[in-house]
Homo-oligomer: A and B are copies of this chain.
């Protein structure tokens, strides 16, 4: 499809997440208007996006068929919200995780954007029902929560509120697929959305293993990154157990169900964060010894290089 026909989207908020969304959209050929309240922030963000796209082109990781230069030209900036929202099919809100800020902003978005425009929030924990209930066209509001860094992490959690229209859910899901992302649709709002729920269920067991002196802190991380984590780069837990058993996942539950029950019921209640200062100190002391706070940015770069390489590998394998 010609990028002229793909339509225009608005990104509200020029921080890291806003810039990441902009890069995803232009990679798929959409025109983007990036908004922030301060003009200087917008112009700095545009320069940063252009530089990031150039770097991606150099490393062979640029998405889409157009050059970095051409993609950069698809992004313009604005510090005028009304102007920014003109003729856009979709708005991606990327302001800080504050209920007050989101409430004020969504009132403006609802008032200024065309009624057919989807209003999506990048919120990572606040459900949209908390800041869209009183809006005139609340049925076009949804959460589209990305995972950091979105350029290499395809997952997007779509969380409708009770009043989000099914059509808005479907259009947002199609749009995310068109970006090359991997949308997952929650059929209702749940606390922590979904990814944190699964992560915290794991973390709870990891904390208990250290607290009960079963494992050292370092061994917890090795257990995942040198074991299960390698499989999870390609398969979810259901398919993993499906293909591990001769008769599929049905056999897994039939043969291992009793063991699953026994292990699950031995997991015990979750560790409370309030009651575990010694445990938290033990873990953070060890983690800080391994990667001191002043080296975290470097280690994040190390991680992102690996996620980029894995994204490239998965892409190659998919087309081989």
Interface of A is mostly: helix
- Interface check A105, CB cutoff 8 A: no
B184–A213 touching, CB < 8 Å: no
A233–B232 touching, CB < 8 Å: yes
Inter-chain pairs besides A185-B215, A185-B216, 19 sampled, C-beta below 8 Å: A184-B226, A187-B216, A190-B214, A191-B263, A197-B263, A198-B205, A198-B228, A206-B237, A221-B235, A233-B310, A235-B303, A242-B287, A242-B288, A246-B296, A248-B287, A248-B296, A249-B283, A257-B274, A309-B317
Report A210-226 CB contacts with B as 1/0, cut-off 8 Å.
00111111011111111
Given contacts A182-B222, A205-B197, A273-B258, contact A238 B287 (CB under 8 A): yes
Q: How far is the CB of A296 from chain B (nearest CB, A)?
A: 5
Looking at A12-20, A56-64, A75-83, A149-157, the stretch in contact with chain B turns out to be: A149-157
Residue of B219, B220, B237, B248 near A288 (CB, 8 A) is B248
A242–B205 touching, CB < 8 Å: no
Question: Which residues from chain B contact A247 at a C-beta distance below 8 Å?
Answer: 293
Q: Which residues of A contact B (CB under 8 A)?
A: 125, 147-148, 152-155, 157, 182, 184-188, 190-192, 194-206, 209, 212-217, 219-239, 241-244, 246-250, 253, 257-267, 270-274, 280, 283-284, 287-288, 290-291, 293, 296, 299-300, 303, 305-307, 309-311, 313, 317
25 contacts between A and B (CB under 8 A): A147-B227, A148-B244, A182-B222, A190-B214, A194-B214, A195-B227, A197-B263, A198-B205, A206-B238, A224-B236, A225-B234, A229-B231, A234-B310, A242-B291, A248-B293, A249-B284, A249-B287, A249-B288, A250-B284, A250-B288, A253-B280, A261-B273, A261-B274, A265-B270, A313-B313
Residue of B182, B203, B317 near A306 (CB, 8 A) is B317
- Choose among A125, A212, A232, A291 the residue with the greatest number of B CB atoms under 10 Å from its CB: A232
A230–B227 touching, CB < 8 Å: no
CA gap between A191 and B233 in the complex, in Å: 26
A223–B198 touching, CB < 8 Å: yes
Question: Which residues from chain B contact A271 at a C-beta distance below 8 Å?
Answer: 264
B201–A201 touching, CB < 8 Å: yes
CA gap between A259 and B233 in the complex, in Å: 26
B209–A291 touching, CB < 8 Å: no
Q: How far is the CB of A256 from chain B (nearest CB, A)?
A: 8
Which 3 residue pairs spanning A and B have beta carbons closest together?
A221-B236, A229-B232, A257-B273
